[in-house]
Chains A and B, each alone.
Chain A
């Protein structure tokens, strides 16, 4: 995992190549096209790119209208605005009628960095996950982003893509991608870690380090938060004593709770630990400093896993 590439950059490229394959794909943005990278699509297909201006509510509902005319709209802005400000438009305009709109929301989580807590969406997965019929996908790297864009375009109905801002490691091996089917990256015996987004690479690095110390854990890339891969969770939870989740999101309502619900509903007798942002807002800072401040640096995640294992 040497190459670094931003997930949002891969998103822009994926849209552009999807635009070539499918003339029904249209893209909307709210004056952030050069940040969300939808401009990559816009410069290639100007007639299928609509800048809604700084008006997210209208953008989301315009997407709803476009979908009724046979288009597959990809609608983008920062996650804080797309999932937050336009929440009710997503809920009532898009999801309630089950329209075929794809919400590609970038700059999610605290690694948005310097713009600060006002712009850092730490609750978007929770907001989107509770909407009936909404698919929620969090790609872990640039390659998975390309596959995820294709996959949500191929499915019918609304989908939310959570896309990080910063350059992040690209996995050397191309992973398969199927919505709702988790990817097991490493098999182990003592614990299972479910991670999503940019925390997948962190979790895998921790696992390698633990392996070198003789501690064997499973790492799962839980790229789809909804529908959650229940079979995978139960299979690996039953094979060990400890379940750990890692996400760059509030520990309330996101990946951790999605996994926790499955464990509780199935009476799994395991220890359970959620690692994420602990019920507080983000703040300005360099992304790496923020990860440290919020307990999500590689070292901190490693220490937390070790703590759970009591080793």
Chain B
């Protein structure tokens, strides 16, 4: 397995990519991309059976970014791993770019589902896990969801199905940063006791006090799934993690840094 210090360095590069992508595009979602860095990088670099040289490799593991607006983080991970040329980052959100505002499976090597409309990705992942099971294949399926996304009723339809079909090849990861566009989750629509809810829906739940702590994240990934149960990693994270003026600021959900803010952010990441 990859050295953890090495992976921490990569996470720093991914954060820089996120800042540069959104700054270059003058649009995009830095906050929820930055909160998901360790969750996504930890997964792709240490857990998933994927091959950047052969993105359509048969029997590869699958990942669905259900919170599709964290596309900058997804693209940064895939780019750093070599699924496509990092020069593409400059084209993020531009006309004819493979890097659309939200992930487009038709365009990007390594992306298996088009997401962005919240609540749908988890259902697609359930379908993938169901398909893998039906073929008796050792394929693991992962979906990353936002916490605000859990307000979509479809998420709970999907959870019900995941437990019903005993999808122990499915892991859903909740990037629980506590903020959504209009404010704190609790101000907009309280999510209640999420751990209890996922348990009640039939998931094996692992709660991470700090989902931006790589050691914690990797430990959670290494715990094997209980037979017959889908797994939920409920990770408490910090929106805007790593950039002092973005951390826990709801305003950075869908706002890009200007040039001055970009330089400030990059400086902090170099420190």
Spell out A's residues near B (CB within 8 Å).
Answer: 26, 47-48, 50, 52-53, 55, 57-58, 60-71, 73, 88-89, 92-93, 96-98
Contact pick for B134, options A48, A63, A98, CB 8 Å: A48
B-chain residues with CB within 8 Å of residue A52 when the two chains form the complex: 157, 161
Q: Which residue on chain A has the smallest CB distance to residue B141?
A: A65
Q: Which of A58, A69, A70, A71 has the most CB of B within 10 A?
A: A58
Contact pick for A47, options B114, B126, B132, B134, CB 8 Å: B134
B81: interface (CB < 8 Å): no
B-chain residues with CB within 8 Å of residue A89 when the two chains form the complex: 120, 123, 154
A to B CB contacts below 8 Å, 25 in the list: A48-B134, A53-B157, A53-B164, A58-B157, A58-B158, A58-B160, A61-B120, A61-B124, A62-B124, A64-B124, A65-B126, A65-B129, A65-B131, A66-B127, A66-B128, A68-B112, A68-B113, A68-B128, A69-B127, A69-B135, A73-B127, A92-B117, A93-B113, A93-B120, A96-B114
A-chain residues with CB within 8 Å of residue B125 when the two chains form the complex: 65
Complex CA distance for A69 and B136, rounded to whole angstroms: 12
Q: Which of B114, B126, B160 has the most CB of A within 10 A?
A: B114
A-chain residues with CB within 8 Å of residue B160 when the two chains form the complex: 53, 55, 58
B-chain residues with CB within 8 Å of residue A73 when the two chains form the complex: 127
Spell out B's residues near A (CB within 8 Å).
Answer: 62, 64, 104-106, 112-114, 116-117, 119-120, 123-132, 134-135, 153-154, 157-158, 160-161, 164-165
Q: Is the CB of B120 within 8 A of A53?
A: no
Q: Is the CB of B104 within 8 A of A97?
A: yes
A-chain residues with CB within 8 Å of residue B154 when the two chains form the complex: 55, 57-58, 61, 89
B-chain residues with CB within 8 Å of residue A64 when the two chains form the complex: 113, 123-124, 127
A281 to chain B, nearest CB (A): 25
A-chain residues with CB within 8 Å of residue B106 when the two chains form the complex: 97-98
Complex CA distance for A66 and B134, rounded to whole angstroms: 10
A99 to chain B, nearest CB (A): 8
B129 to chain A, nearest CB (A): 8
Q: Is the CB of B130 within 8 A of A92?
A: no
Q: Is the CB of A62 within 8 A of B134?
A: no
Closest 6 interchain pairs by CB? A65-B127, A69-B131, A61-B123, A58-B157, A62-B127, A55-B157
Contact pick for B130, options A60, A66, A70, CB 8 Å: A66
Which applies to chain A's interface (DSSP): helix, strand, loop or mixed?
helix
Contact A57-B112, Cβ < 8 Å, known A47-B134, A62-B126, A64-B124: no
A-chain residues with CB within 8 Å of residue B120 when the two chains form the complex: 57, 61, 88-89, 92-93
Q: Is the CB of B123 within 8 A of A65?
A: yes
Q: Which residue on chain A has the smallest CB distance to residue B159?
A: A58
A-chain residues with CB within 8 Å of residue B157 when the two chains form the complex: 52-53, 55, 57-58
B189 to chain A, nearest CB (A): 18
Q: Is the CB of A88 within 8 A of B128?
A: no
Q: Is the CB of A92 within 8 A of B126?
A: no
Contact A55-B127, Cβ < 8 Å, known A97-B106, A97-B113: no
B65 to chain A, nearest CB (A): 13
Complex CA distance for A52 and B158, rounded to whole angstroms: 9
Complex CA distance for A71 and B126, rounded to whole angstroms: 14
Complex CA distance for A62 and B162, rounded to whole angstroms: 10
A-chain residues with CB within 8 Å of residue B158 when the two chains form the complex: 58, 61-62
